[in-house]
Structure 1
Amino acid sequence: MSFAPIKRVIARSALVLGTAATVLGGCTGYAPAPKGFDQAAIQPYRLDSGDRLRISVFEQPSLTNSYTVDQAGYIAFPLIGQVAARGQTLPAMEAAIAARLKQGYLRDPDVTIEVDRYRPVFVMGEVGRPGQYSYVPGMTAQNAIAIAGGFTSRGNQRDVDVTRKINGEVITGRANISAPVLAGDTIYVRERLF
């Protein structure tokens, strides 16, 4: 009995499997999310364009109002004009506005800021209703996908690609569907291979 035909079948099978692994390995696209990607989810919230802030100045009803961060990253505040908001935390913004109001307008301003409406998240790819949706603190990729009509029959339900701005740099990484998302993130659901 000759083993030559069996060896050829095994060799061809190994070649086919090796080629398939290479092709499928090349389909992965993005690498897992970098370390700073996950760290951004536990850092203090950073303001950006589209956030609407409720700013209160104690005993100054004419200054207490809602202000939206514009496309350039500023808010227009009475008396003091443009105030840079992009990349700032809420305590830093409170301090900046108070310091500017102290320069000839108010003796000891007490400024408090809360986010009235967060900038939206975007859900794209293999979901029922791709689009822009309101962000809610504590939201996960799975929550955002559910709001966007859930997965299509072809949607990859294991992980998603998330694009996020971190320190002014736009980064895309692969994340589990239970991973937290941030305001302004874009979540992309890929198509399943099988």
Structure 2
Amino acid sequence: MTASPLLLLRLLGLMLTFGLLGAVPAQAETDAQYRLASGDVIRISVFGEKELSIDEIRLTDAGTFSYPFIGEVRANGRTARELEQLLTAQLKGDYLVDPRVTVSILKYREFFISGEVKSPGGYPYQPGLTLRRAVALAGGLTERASTNRISIIRDKDPSRRPQKATLDTELEPGDTITIEQGFF
């Protein structure tokens, strides 16, 4: 039984409406470029080796985790793919003949927002997050907030120098945002 073209068009429309198309590749692209650091939560799966598969690991303050047979593993600054390659190389030979390792990012590290927002603090990062959405997560701006005096410190920036930001600026995990008071 084949589906009619009209039924296929309706199905495609529903998928587009609910965002079922396009979301996975964007997430996969983000994960491919994403560099792991302290606070990220990952899953490690080794095909056919239940005792080497770990459902949830939070990286330590140093960006490391402990792994069976290997010991302390440094994940900080690596992508999930690079970590897969490292674990595969470490397990191959001594422990397994042909290990198939998969690393997935379960939770990204938090971003932090302070200053003139109603609920300052740390919030979970989500791919595609803009400063406007981050402000909404923090309960919105206070009456005294300035939309022109916003600074951001990127976690990946070793100088830790504040940069000017707008409400349309895209955030990254670990960012620290400060929203200053406006002068009236």
Counterpart in 2 of 1:94? Answer: 84
Unaligned runs of 5+ residues in structure 2 are 1-29
Q: Which has the larger displacement, 153-162 or 182-191?
A: 153-162
Aligned match of 1:116 in 106, 110, 113?
Answer: 106
Secondary structure of 2:155's aligned partner: strand
CA 1:94–1:169 in structure 2 vs 1: closer, same or farther (change >3 Å)?
Answer: farther
Counterpart in 1 of 2:165? Answer: 175
Counterpart in 1 of 2:21? Answer: none
CA 1:71–1:156 in structure 2 vs 1: closer, same or farther (change >3 Å)?
Answer: same
> Is residue 2:54 matched to residue 1:58?
no
Relative contact order, CA 8 A, sep 6+: which one is greater?
A: 1
Alpha-carbon distance in structure 2 between the residues aligned to 1:93 and 1:168: 22
Secondary structure of 1:100's aligned partner: helix
**Deviation per residue, 1:80-113 (Å, 9 max, x gap):** 1111111111111110111111140111111111
Unaligned runs of 5+ residues in structure 1 are 1-40
Alpha-carbon distance in structure 2 between the residues aligned to 1:103 and 1:159: 56
How far apart are 1:170 and its partner, in Å? 2.5
CA 1:90–1:167 in structure 2 vs 1: closer, same or farther (change >3 Å)?
Answer: farther
Alpha-carbon distance in structure 2 between the residues aligned to 1:113 and 1:179: 29
The number of aligned residues is: 154
How far apart are 1:156 and its partner, in Å? 1.1
Counterpart in 2 of 1:10? Answer: none
Alpha-carbon distance in structure 2 between the residues aligned to 1:79 and 1:186: 37
How far apart are 1:168 and its partner, in Å? 4.2
Alpha-carbon distance in structure 2 between the residues aligned to 1:120 and 1:64: 25
Larger Rg: 1
Alpha-carbon distance in structure 2 between the residues aligned to 1:93 and 1:62: 18
Alpha-carbon distance in structure 2 between the residues aligned to 1:155 and 1:127: 7
Alpha-carbon distance in structure 2 between the residues aligned to 1:182 and 1:188: 14
Alpha-carbon distance in structure 1 between the residues aligned to 2:157 and 2:96: 33
Secondary structure of 1:176's aligned partner: coil
**Deviation per residue, 1:50-106 (Å, 9 max, x gap):** 001011111111111121110111111111111111111111111011111114011
How far apart are 1:169 and its partner, in Å? 4.2
Secondary structure of 2:42's aligned partner: strand
Secondary structure of 1:190's aligned partner: strand
> Does the CA-based 8 Å contact 2:149-2:182 persist in structure 1?
no
> Is residue 2:32 matched to residue 1:47?
no
> Does the CA-based 8 Å contact 1:49-1:71 persist in structure 2?
yes
Q: Which has the larger displacement, 146-155 or 59-68?
A: 59-68
Q: Give the TM-score normalised by structure 2.
A: 0.78
RMSD: 1.9
> Does the CA-based 8 Å contact 2:155-2:176 persist in structure 1?
no
**Deviation per residue, 1:3-54 (Å, 9 max, x gap):** xxxxxxxxxxxxxxxxxxxxxxxxxxxxxxxxxxxxxx9x811111000101
Runs of 4+ that moved beyond 4 A:
none
